[in-house]
C-alpha cells in the first residue's frame, strides 16, 4: 500500500510559477514510477508528466513541455513538479500517482493516487 499526499497548489496570476510536491509513504516509493495528472472541471484526467524510479527518465505532455519540470528526491520520498509560465489553461486539480512499470501516460495504468491539489491561474 502506498499513500500519496500532494501540496503546493494555489491561486496565481498568469506567468507565475508554482512547485507541487508529492510525498509518498512506504519503503517502496523510491522504486516506483510517478506520474502527475490534472483534471479541469468537467474534463477527464489528463497526463502531465512522469518520471521513472531513479529520475533518469522523464516524459511530458506537449501542453507543458518546456514549462514544467518533474524531478524526485528519493531520500525524501518526494516527487516535484516545477511549473513555470503558468497560463489559464493550466487551471485544474493536480494529482500524483504511482505504478511499477516506468514511463506511462495512461491514468488507468496507475495503482495509487493522491487526493489532489488545486491550481488556479487567473488571467
Per-residue pLDDT in tens (0 to 9) along the chain, 123 residues? 899 999 999 999 999 999 999 999 987 999 999 999 999 999 999 999 999 999 999 999 999 999 999 999 999 999 999 999 999 999 999 999 999 999 999 999 999 999 999 999 998
The reported pLDDT for the residue numbered 1 is 86
Whole-number pLDDT of residue 51: 98
Three-state SS at 117 = strand
User: What is residue 98's predicted lDDT score, i.e. its pLDDT?
Assistant: 97
Give the separation between CA 51 and CA 115, rounded to whole angstroms. 19
Q: What whole-number distance in Å separates Cα of residue 39 and Cα of residue 41?
A: 7
* CA-wise closest residue to 25 among 99, 77, 69, 66: 77
pLDDT of residue 26: 80
Distance between CA atoms of 51 and 93, rounded to whole angstroms?
A: 19
pLDDT at position 27: 76
Tell me what pLDDT residue 13 has. Answer: 98
Amino acid at each position: 500500500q502506498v499513500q500519496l499526499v500532494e501540496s503546493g497548489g494555489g491561486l496565481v496570476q498568469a506567468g507565475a510559477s508554482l512547485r507541487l510536491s508529492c510525498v509518498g509513504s512506504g519503503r517502496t516509493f523510491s522504486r516506483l514510477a510517478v506520474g502527475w495528472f490534472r483534471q479541469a472541471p468537467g474534463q477527464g484526467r489528463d497526463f502531465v508528466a512522469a518520471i521513472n524510479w531513479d529520475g533518469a527518465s522523464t516524459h511530458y505532455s506537449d501542453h507543458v513541455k518546456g514549462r514544467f519540470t518533474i524531478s524526485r528526491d528519493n531520500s525524501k520520498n518526494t516527487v516535484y513538479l516545477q511549473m513555470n509560465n503558468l497560463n489559464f489553461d493550466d487551471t485544474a486539480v493536480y494529482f500524483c500517482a504511482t505504478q511499477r512499470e516506468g514511463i506511462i501516460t495512461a491514468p488507468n495504468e496507475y495503482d495509487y493516487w493522491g487526493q489532489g491539489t488545486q491550481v488556479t491561474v487567473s488571467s
